[in-house]
Amino acid sequence: MDAERPPEFHSDVARPARVYDAWLGGTHHFPADQEAAEPAAVDRA
């Protein structure tokens, strides 16, 4: 890995911290995170 290049960022891949933010009703998530959060929220209802 090149020390001068930051790791790639993919907003189309859900990440646990952002999915959790979506569950809490936060604003720091992307559509992929929201989509991943919805089925889990339905299962808990």
pLDDT tens readout for residues 1-45: 567 888 888 999 999 999 999 999 999 999 999 999 988 766 665
Q: According to the model, what pLDDT value does residue 24 have?
A: 92
Q: According to the model, what pLDDT value does residue 13 have?
A: 95
Q: According to the model, what pLDDT value does residue 5 have?
A: 87
Q: According to the model, what pLDDT value does residue 7 have?
A: 83
CA trace torsion 27, 31, 32, 36 (10° rounding): 70
Q: Is the pTM of this model over 0.95?
A: no
Q: According to the model, what pLDDT value does residue 44 have?
A: 62
